[in-house]
Amino acid sequence: MGQGNVSVSRRTVLGAAMAGTAIVALSGCGGTEWYPADVTPDEHVIRSLLREKELITARYAKAIETGAGPTDLLERLRGHHLEHVDALTAALPDDAVVPEEDPSARPTDPAPDAAPDSEGLRVLETSAAAARIDQSAAVTDPGLAQLISGIGACEAGHAHLLARA
């Protein structure tokens, strides 16, 4: 019985080898349990938001201290941000390490001596609300995405109130 002269091109062999290598390489990263850092992506977003909230509340405190706007409104809005901090802290995983209150570990405000006025706080609130869209899309937990979106909606409301002040 005759065997035909069947030859496989070099391109076919190289293409198959590359496809096989890609499949093997990608199969190792496919599991949801694999993550190379101690902090999950969701926890990273929460911690980033907590740092932002510390800076925002510090700016509000400075504005209240210097009388840079309507004190009652600024105190109420700062209170909302402190409530956000509580909700975000509660959203951290149960095994997450919550750092103790160490003033040297706090992020530094780029302009700690400058007290923003109502317009500066409005701009801060507007940009914070816009950032919440990407942050809520970056998390995997639907409840956390809802919390972040709610915080963004609150910040958008703050911007509106500050524009009217």
Grouped pLDDT means (10 residues each) for the chain, 165 residues: 64 70 59 64 94 94 91 96 96 73 51 77 95 95 96 97 92
Q: Is 44 helix (H, G, I), strand (E, B) or coil?
A: helix
148 within domain boundaries: yes
pLDDT of residue 126: 96
What is the domain extent for residue 91? 41-164
Number of H-type helices and E-type strands within the chain: 5, 0
The conformational region for residue 67 under phi > 0 = left, psi -120 to 50 = alpha, else beta, is left
Q: Which domain CATH number covers 138? A: 1.20.1260.10
Answer whether 0.85 is exceeded by the pTM.
Answer: no
pLDDT at position 102 is 47
Rounded to 5°, the CA angle 121-107-56 comes to: 20
- Tell me, yes or no, whether 103 lies in a domain: yes
pLDDT of residue 144: 96
Instruction: Give a yes or no: residue 123 inside a domain.
Output: yes
Residue 157 in any domain: the answer is: yes
pLDDT value at residue 23: 64
Model confidence pLDDT, tens digit, residues 2-13: 555 667 677 776
Structure tokens at 12: 């076919």
Total number of domains in the chain:
1
pLDDT confidence of residue 113? 65
Residue 6 lies in a domain: no
**26, part of any domain:** no
Residue 21 is predicted with a pLDDT of 67
Is 91 within 8 Å of 151 (Cβ atoms)?
no
Question: In the prediction, which pLDDT does 93 show?
Answer: 86
